[in-house]
Each structure stands twice: as C-alpha cells, then as structure tokens.
C-alpha cells in the first residue's frame, strides 16, 4: 500500500526520471508526475518525503548512486538523519534504474 510508505528514495539521473518513476510505481497516474510533486510536496517538511538527502543531483552523483539510496533509507529508518529525519519513519521504498532507463529495481525496507 502506498500510504504505508514513510520515505521514498528514487534514482534521479535526470529530473524526468523522478516523475516517470513515481508514475510507474503508482504514486500518481501516468502524466501526473509534475502535478504530484508541485507546491513543495516533496521538499523538506513536505507531505511526501522524497530523496531526503537531496538526491543525486545535489548530494553526490558518483555514477553508481543506487547504494546511496539504500544508505539514506536505512539511516532514515534508524533515526540517524538529524535535521532531515522523517519523524517515526518505519517503511522506506528505494527504486533505482539502470542502462538507458531500460531496467529497474525496487526494494522496500521496514523496521517491522
């Protein structure tokens, strides 16, 4: 269930990648990704915690960013994120894409 996810970490190789991923994962309908993230919804303190470390485009992008998605999700679930901590985070979804967006993998982590 989408409402059971407390924090979402997705590979953001390009801005459009995030929108396409949110649509493909069913958080919003196809073509509605832009509206879904509008009005600071995914910004720090927003109602949809997304890429809480700032994402690869602002945090770091070493070319193999996927492991950083997992690390951030685990840190969120452990309560180790200081000012960017999502309060009471229990479940995290991590999704990465590879190739020319030709492959993907999703992992759901939980403290329960």
Given CA atoms 3, 8, 10, 16 in this order, what sign does their dihedral have? positive
78-93 pLDDT, tens digit each: 999 999 999 999 999 9
**36 Cβ contact partners less than 8 Å away, ≥ 6 residues apart:** 19, 22, 27, 28, 48
Residue with tokens 């690390």: 71
Active site residue 65: no
Residue 106: CATH number of its domain: 3.40.47.10
Q: Do 37 and 17 touch, CB atoms closer than 8 A?
A: no
Count of structural domains within the chain: 1
50-86 pLDDT, tens digit each: 999 999 878 777 767 888 999 999 999 999 999 999 9
Which of 59, 70, 81, 109 is labelled catalytic?
59
pLDDT score at 41: 95
The reported pTM is 0.92
Which of 6, 9, 10, 11 is labelled catalytic?
11
Domain extent, residue 18, equals 2-110
């Amino acid at each position: 269930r989408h409402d059971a996810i407390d924090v979402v970490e997705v590979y953001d190789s390009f801005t459009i990648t995030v929108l396409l991923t949110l649509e493909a994962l069913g958080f919003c309908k196809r073509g509605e990704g832009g509206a879904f993230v509008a009005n600071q919804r995914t910004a720090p303190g927003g109602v949809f915690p997304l890429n809480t470390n700032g994402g690869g485009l602002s945090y770091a992008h070493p070319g193999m960013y996927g492991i950083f998605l997992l690390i951030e999700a685990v840190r969120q679930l452990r309560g180790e994120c200081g000012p960017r901590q999502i309060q009471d985070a229990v479940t995290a979804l991590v999704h990465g894409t590879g190739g020319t967006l030709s492959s993907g993998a999703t992992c759901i982590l939980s403290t329960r």
